[in-house]
Each structure stands twice: as structure tokens, then as C-alpha cells.
Structure 1
Amino acid sequence: MEKHAYTTELGTVHYWTAGPRNPGACTLVFLPGLTADHTLFDAQVTHFSHVYRCIVWDAPAHGESRPYPLDFSLDDYALILHAILAKEDVSRPVLVGQSLGGYVAQAYGDIFPGEVAGFVSIDSAPLKRSYYPKWEIVALRHTKGMYLSIPWGLLKRWGSFGTAETSRGRAQMRAMMDRYERREYCELAAYGYLMLADAIDACRPYAIDCPALLLCGEFDRAGDVRPLNKKWNKVEGIPLVWVPRAGHNSNVDNPEFVNSQIEHFLHSIGRENA
């Protein structure tokens, strides 16, 4: 992959590109989850870059996009991503977002309607306010103390075992967590939930105006992601596929299955646009 940098007023955001750069061809944009970095999608970039152009970032305050002050919103993420894609001459991307990355994709589509060719949600959830009880929004705003109260070694164990079902997935999550200092990680995680609460409380439409696919690990234990995906599928009719033998980071636990589902999705988009 080729590494690039995009500079904002607050800091530098790093992203990577791979694959053929054909004008008008499909571009896959991979958006990692909270505290995760671009390596979360290594298996997808390796698989798809033989045919498609691929872009993956370290979101602001994540991975190599540090230092970066915790002074941004989900909309800011979407605006920065849009500027990066404009720099790379990408006009209608297929956004593939895991967890927080799925929320970024929804904010992107809300701000830039008609500009997304497809959306794949991996272990994420809807942003519409109607899906969430008030107490849950309140809880999202008060997680910092909880994170800071947990010893770092135990938190890393919970983080790796809570997001993955396989030794490969747990090792990768542990490696990503090891790149942070304890307080930095806790503050970033808590800020991410606060940012999510603000986005949900904005009560915006977050309409998905493009073909979409929901992928969710059958053993995903992150909050209420599984029931929310069931409701998302039922209310909005977006196809939902359970990823076998996978937890919250299902694209790492079972990359072969996830890659095959994304391939089917991309082929269906191609038929619709034919």
C-alpha cells in the first residue's frame, strides 16, 4: 500500500491506497472502528486491491493519525473523509465501515446525499434516533470513568476477547491496543461514545440512499449491536447476513466469508448500474 497524508487545522490524517486507479471504476473505502487502525482491514485490502482501488485510513486521533486533539464530531470525520476522497479524485465510493466506521459512513451519506455508490456495514448500527432509548444515549456520554477504573492489562484482555472470537482476531486487536498509552486509549474510547451520542441526539434523517448490506458477527457481544442489526433489517429492509464464527471484528475473525459477501454485493451493484 502507498501511504499518504492529509493535513487539517488540528493535525495530520494518514491514509493508504492500493489497487488500480482507473477513472470511473469502483473505489472501496474502508473505515475502521473506534480505537482500531488501518490494519483492521489488511485482509480486505489484500483481497480486493487486485481488482478494485482501495483506500483505508487511520481516523483522526487513531493509529498513525496522532497526535490529534479530541475536538471533532462525527460530521468532522465525514468532512475530512470527503476532502481526502476529493484529493484522490473519488466521487462515488463504496463505503465499508466497521463499528464506528459504519457511523462515519452514515454521517457521510447524510451530509453528501447521492454521493455514495454503496454501503457495507460491518458490526455497526443505525444512527437514527428512533432506534435508541434515552437511557442508552445518557450511558454513552458517561464511559470515561469506567474505562479509567479498569487496570490496563485487564482492559487489553477484555478488549481483545470482547471484540474477537479467533486467536487471529484477538491478537490483532491486542496489537492495535498496544500502540496506545493507557490514558490515551481510555480518553479516545470515551470520546468516541460521546461523539456517537451527539450524532444520534442530532435527530437527523441519516437516510441510506444507496444499495446497502449489513454484516454482523454471529457472536458479536459489543453492546446491543446484534439486536440493533435485526431491527435495522426489519425496519428498513436492508439485507442482513450473519458472519459465522465471528465476533465484533468479524472481518478479521472470518475474512474469507466477509470478503465473499462484499464481492456478491459489489456484483449486485454492477448489475443494477448496468
Structure 2
Amino acid sequence: MTRCSYHTVGPADGQAVVLLHAIATDSNLWSAQVPVWATAFRLVCVDLPGHGGSPDIDADLDLDGYADCVLDVLDELHIDTASLVGLSLGGMVAQAFALKYPARVRSLVLAHTSARTVEVVKGIWSGRIARFEREGMAAQVMPTLERWFTRSFAEASPLTLAWLSEQILRTTNKGYLSAIRAIQGLDHLDKLAAIEVPTLVVAGEEDSSVPPAAAAQIAERMANAKMLVLAGAAHLGNLERPVEFTEAVGAFLRQASR
């Protein structure tokens, strides 16, 4: 039995594509992409432990532990190989999976994510843990949304922000803290050269959490990677630039599946 809730969309005989979401969201984060990509691929939409419809967790998971959860899903579905599309935390999990289970990966999309958490950023996350322990999840909503989007998008998209607020609030306390600690432990940068599958690294031009220069470090360490920078987008480019993101990633997945 898997530790993740998941559902599949698209043709049963299509090339499998696993979608891995950001911290404090769930598989609904991909709502703009699923209807389009499902015309060509078998999408496996995963809720990471403690997020969305997945059960809460008993103990913290590191990134390898989250990768094991993804493996359980693929094994339950009898999927031998898949492409992984991960955003933010999901991109970190995708890296861990590709490093631990390289034979199970056809291609990777690493969006708005990093490969190493430096000490200053670890400290920032520790501050967020302290605020969470003092004030609870509700106090995390607005600061999180402010980091995720440009101001102009946020001001023009109140319904989208309300929708994401609900996802944040559905995240369990243990699921949130476990994800933060996994992010703090991220250190894949020097291992990325071992990943040989085609990889697309996606960055947001206005992403203060993972600036394009930080994302470029990932592409530079990988022999078979290329990079896409979404103009005017912050940390959730799949929502702020949905058509560009959907088409570019979809074209990459289609090419990589040939």
C-alpha cells in the first residue's frame, strides 16, 4: 500500500508522466496542465505524504523517503519507466528519485527548484518553522503566496490565490514540517552529473526563491539538460504563465518519449 494518494488521467497505454507538486499544495496544482497533457500522456498525479488527500505521516521523511513513496506508486501501477515533472519541492523529490532509481526514469522536468540548500536558506526555513509553531498554518498563507507570485499577478488573481490558500490549509502540520526539513537537507548539486536522461530545467525570471542563476547551476551540472526561463513569472510559472509552461513542457515530454 502506498503512502501517497494519487490518480491517473489520460490513455492507459500512454507514456507515464508523474506530476510532483510544491510544498503545501497538492496534485491540483497541475489543474491548468492536466487536461492538455492528458491528451498525449498517462498522467500520474501524486499527493505527497501529508499533502492533499494523502495520509498524514508518523515521522519526517528525507528526500530519498519521498522518492520511495513515488516508487511505491509506480510499482502499484506496474509502471516500469516514467518521466517526472516536479515543481519546487516536487523537483527536489524528482532529483532524488532519478539519483536513486535511474533505470525507472525516461526524462525529467525540474521547475522552480534548486539542488542544494545553502546555510542562509536553511536559516530562513528555520525561521518559518518557528513562526509556524507560534502561529499555526493560517499565518503561513499570505507570506507563502507573496513569495510564489509577482505582485501584479497576485493583485489580478484573487480567486486563484484563494484556491491555493485552501491547498495550503489542507496540508497537515507534520506534512508541512517534514517537507521543510527535507528541503533543508537538500544537497544534490554535486551528484547531478550522474543523471543522464533528457532534462528540462524551468525557471521564473522574477523568482526570488530560486532565481534563474540558481536554476542554471542544475542545467550546467547535467550533460543532457536544457533550460527555459519564463519571462515575468515568479515561483509558480505553471500558473502565472500557464500556456507557455504547458506547451514548452509538453513539447519536451513528447520529444523525450520518442
TM-score, L = length of structure 2: 0.85
Question: Where in structure 1 do 4 or more consecutive aligned residues deviate above 6 Å?
Answer: none
Q: Aligned letter for 2:67?
A: A
Q: What's the offset of the Cα at 1:52?
A: 1.1
2:33–2:246 CA contact under 8 A, matched in 1? yes
SS of equivalent residue, structure 1 residue 263: helix
Distance in 1, Cα, partners of 2:204 & 2:222: 20
1:218–1:246 CA contact under 8 A, matched in 2? yes
1:143–1:190 CA contact under 8 A, matched in 2? no
The residue that corresponds to 2:241 in the other structure is: 254
Distance in 1, Cα, partners of 2:234 & 2:44: 24
Q: 1:158 to 1:133 in 2, by over 3 A?
A: closer
The residue that corresponds to 2:180 in the other structure is: 193
Q: 1:145 to 1:216 in 2, by over 3 A?
A: same
Q: Aligned letter for 2:212?
A: R
Q: What's the offset of the Cα at 1:45?
A: 1.2
Distance in 2, Cα, partners of 1:239 & 1:36: 27
* Aligned counterparts, 1:65-214, within 5 A: 65-127=54-116, 133-137=118-122, 140=125, 143-149=128-134, 155-165=140-150, 166=153, 167=157, 169-180=160-171, 184-185=172-173, 188-200=175-187, 205-206=191-192, 207-214=194-201
The residue that corresponds to 1:228 in the other structure is: 214
Unaligned runs of 5+ in 1: 1-6
Q: What's the offset of the Cα at 1:44?
A: 1.3
Q: What's the offset of the Cα at 1:233?
A: 3.1
Q: Aligned letter for 1:209?
A: E
Residues 153-183 of structure 1: per-residue CA shift (max 9 Å, x gap): 5532222232123316423322212324xxx
SS of equivalent residue, structure 2 residue 185: helix
* Aligned counterparts, 1:3-18, within 5 A: 7-8=1-2, 12-18=3-9
Name which structure has the greater RCO, CA cutoff 8 Å, separation 6+: 2
Q: Aligned letter for 1:254?
A: R
1:42 aligns with 2:42: no
Work out the number of aligned pairs and report it: 250
TM-score, L = length of structure 1: 0.80
Residues 20-65 of structure 1: per-residue CA shift (max 9 Å, x gap): 111xx41111000111111001111111112211111110111111
Matched-pair identity in %: 22
1:123–1:215 CA contact under 8 A, matched in 2? yes
Q: What's the offset of the Cα at 1:149?
A: 4.5
Q: Aligned letter for 1:67?
A: D
SS of equivalent residue, structure 1 residue 79: helix
SS of equivalent residue, structure 2 residue 4: strand
1:159–1:174 CA contact under 8 A, matched in 2? no
Match of 2:229 among 218, 242, 249: 242
